[in-house]
Structure 1
Amino acid sequence: MANISRYELVGAVAEAGGMGFIASGGMSADELREQIKRVKAMTNKPFGINLMLQMTNISELIDVMIEEGITVVSTGAGTPKAYMPKLKAANIKVIPVVPNVKLAKKMDDLGVDAIIAEGQEAGGHIGQVSTLPLVRQVVKAVSVPVIAAGGIADGASMAAMWALGAKGVQMGSLFLTAKECPIQTNFQQKVLEADEMATVVTGRRSRHAVRLLANQMTEQYIQMEYEGASDEALAGLTEGSLYRAVYEDNVESGSMMCGQGIGQVKELRTCHEIMTDLMNEFNETLASLTDKVIE
C-alpha cells in the first residue's frame, strides 16, 4: 500500500472505526510529518504508521512518530530489533508482519506487542504459506495477540480468522475499492473487474515474491524469469512501476499489487460503508454458527 495508504484513506478508515496505517515506504521525514498532520486534521481517532525497514531513514521516521504522538507501528521487510528500545521507551506498540511461524516466534521473543500473520493470498510482497494454516499455527506458537492477513475481504472471512484464534484482521486490497482511496480510475476499475484468478506472483525464483494483478509487465517479467534473466534485468523492468500504477494510472506497465480475496468485491463504497458491511456480516456469521454444533 506504499503511495496508496495515505492521509485520505487513513483518515477515512479511522473515522469509520478501523485502525488506518500510513504506509511510509518511500517517504522522507518531512513527508511523513505532513501525512500525519493531514490525518489529524481529519480525525481525532487513533491511527498508525507502517515502516518498511529496508529504508535508510527509519530512525528519522521514528523520531517524527514520537514527536507526533503516534502510538502504534507495524513493520515489514526486516526485523525491528534495532529500534525496539527507542519504540518501547516511547510507549509505541510494535506489530511486525511475518510470513511464517519461525519468524513469529522470533518476534515474540523480541517483545513485540502483537503479530500480523500474513498468508500468501495477500497482495504485494508475500511468503510461501497460505493464510489458514499460517494463522492457526502462529496462534499456537506465540504468546501475543495475532492479527490475520491475506485474502480477507469480507465479514465472513473475518469470522473464519476469529475461529482460528486471531484477535483482528489486516485488510489492504479491499480498501483499493474505497471511494477515498487515492488510486486513479483505470487501476480501481481493474480491481473491481478482478476475480480470484486475476493475480499472478512474480519473483518466486529470487525469493522476493510479489502478488499483483496480471498485465503486460507481469507477463514479460514471468517470461524473463522463466528464461533465467538476471536480477538486475528484472529489477530494471519493475523500476518505477508502482509509481506508474498509482500516479500515472498505467495498468499495463504499472505494479497493481492486489490480493486474491478481491474477487468478491464488485462496487465502490465509502470507508464507512465498507466498515459497516464488514461488521454486520461478521456478527451475522458468528450468530449463524452458534446453533450449528455437530455431534
Structure 2
Amino acid sequence: MEGQKALHTEICDLLHIKYPIIQGGMAWVAEHHLAAAVSEAGGLGIIASASATAEIVRNEVRKVKELTDKPFGVNIMLLNPHAPEVAQVIIEEKVPVVTTGAGNPEKFLKDWKAAGVTIIPVVASVALAKRMERSGADALIAEGCEAGGHIGELTTMALIPQIVDAVSIPVIAAGGIGDGRGLAAVIMLGARGAQVGTRFVVANESIVHDNYKKRVISAKDIDSTVTGRSTGHPVRSLRNNMTRNYLKLEEEGKSFEELELLTLGSLRRAVVEGDITEGSVMAGQIAGLISREQSCKEIMEEMTDEACRVIQKGW
C-alpha cells in the first residue's frame, strides 16, 4: 500500500493518468502509435512535433484520438520554424498537454493557459525552472545529461533535488530512468513522476527500425557518447562511425556548418531506414540496462510494480 500511494502523485491528478510516467518526446520515434499505446497503458503518451509542419502534427493528433480516449500530449521543439503554427494546433485540436524543449515557450503560454492546456516545459537548470514557474508552467520536466538526444550538463541525481527545492510546482525527472528502481529513486529525490524515453524506443508499438531497436538492446553501459559539445548543442547517441567522424572533426576545430552537414538527416536514417552505422542512434545511458522488446503495457506494469516493491520494502 505504501508503494502504491507513493506512485499516485500530483502528476497523476494533474494529467489524469494512472501512473506518474510520461513518454519522452523523441523526434521520429514518438508518433501516434507509440503515444496512444503509452496512454492506453496508464501513462502519458507524447507526440514529438520535431521539425514537422502544423498539418503533420494535426494529423498525428487526430490519429491518436482514433486510437485512445485517454489523455496525451504534444512536444514542441521551439527551434522548429513551424513552432507558432504548431502551438496554434495545440489549441485548435484541444490537446490536453504540451511539453516544450529547445527554447523558451513564454510567448505561447498565455494562449495555451486560456485554452486550458497543461504546460510542462523541459528544463536543465534551476534558473530556467524558476523562470518557467514564474511564467505560468503547470509542472516541469527536469532532464539530466544521462538522457538520449539533446542534453544539458547536470546529472539527474544532482539536478532533481535542486530544482525540487527551487520551485513549488511538480517536477518530473528525466534522464537515465529505465526501470522501477529509477522511478522509485527520483520520487525519493522529490520528483513527482518520471519521463522515460529510451526504454519506449524498443516497445512493440514503436515504429523504430528493428536495426535501431537491436542496437539499443545490445548496448553496453559505456556505449553512448556525446557529440556537439564544441557547438553548444551536445547530443547523446550510441557510438558508431558517424559519432567517431563527428568527434574527429570537432577535435580538428571544424565549423558548426561543417559539422551540421555530417548529421543532416542522420536521425531519420537511423530510425526509419535502419542505418545504425552512419545514422544518429540517439539513446540514453540507460540503454545498457534494456535487454528486450516489450509492449508499452508490459513496460509500464513492470516499472510500477518494481517501484512499489522498492519503495515499500527496499531491496
Relative to the length of structure 1, the TM-score reads 0.97
Q: In structure 1, how many angstroms separate the alpha carbons of the residues matched to 2:229 and 2:51?
A: 24
SS of aligned partner of 2:259: helix
2:146 matched residue in structure 1:
121
Residue 248 (structure 1) shift: 1.1
Residue 116 (structure 1) shift: 0.6
SS of aligned partner of 2:300: helix
- Computed over aligned residues only, the root mean square deviation of the Cα atoms, in angstroms, reads 1.0
SS of aligned partner of 1:205: helix
Given the alignment of the two structures, is residue 172 of structure 1 paired with residue 197 of structure 2, yes or no?
yes
Q: In structure 2, how many angstroms separate the alpha carbons of the residues matched to 1:70 and 1:221?
A: 38
Residue 49 (structure 1) shift: 0.3
Q: In structure 1, how many angstroms separate the alpha carbons of the residues matched to 2:150 and 2:307?
A: 27
Given the alignment of the two structures, is residue 196 of structure 1 paired with residue 221 of structure 2, yes or no?
yes
SS of aligned partner of 1:127: coil
Q: In structure 2, how many angstroms separate the alpha carbons of the residues matched to 1:195 and 1:135?
A: 25
Residue 59 (structure 1) shift: 2.1
1:51 matched residue in structure 2:
76
Q: How does 1:26-175 map to 2 (within 5 A)?
A: 26-175=51-200
Q: In structure 2, how many angstroms separate the alpha carbons of the residues matched to 1:247 and 1:165?
A: 37
1:245 matched residue in structure 2:
270
State the AA in 2 paired with 1:119: G
2:3 matched residue in structure 1:
none
Write out per-residue CA displacement over residues 49-72 of structure 1, whole angstroms, 9 at most, x where no aligned residue: 000001122221122221211111
1:264 matched residue in structure 2:
289
State the AA in 1 paired with 2:168: S
Q: In structure 1, how many angstroms separate the alpha carbons of the residues matched to 2:83 and 2:258?
A: 28
Q: In structure 2, how many angstroms separate the alpha carbons of the residues matched to 1:65 and 1:92?
A: 8
The higher-RCO structure (CA 8 Å, 6+ apart) is: 2
The one of 232, 244, 252 aligned to 1:219: 244
Give the count of matched residue pairs. Answer: 290
2:257 matched residue in structure 1:
232
Alignment identity in percent?
46
Q: In structure 1, how many angstroms separate the alpha carbons of the residues matched to 2:141 and 2:111?
A: 21
Given the alignment of the two structures, is residue 287 of structure 1 paired with residue 307 of structure 2, yes or no?
no
Write out per-residue CA displacement over residues 86-135 of structure 1, whole angstroms, 9 at most, x where no aligned residue: 11111111111111111111111111111111000000000110000100
Is the Cα contact below 8 Å between 2:202 and 2:208 reproduced in 1? no
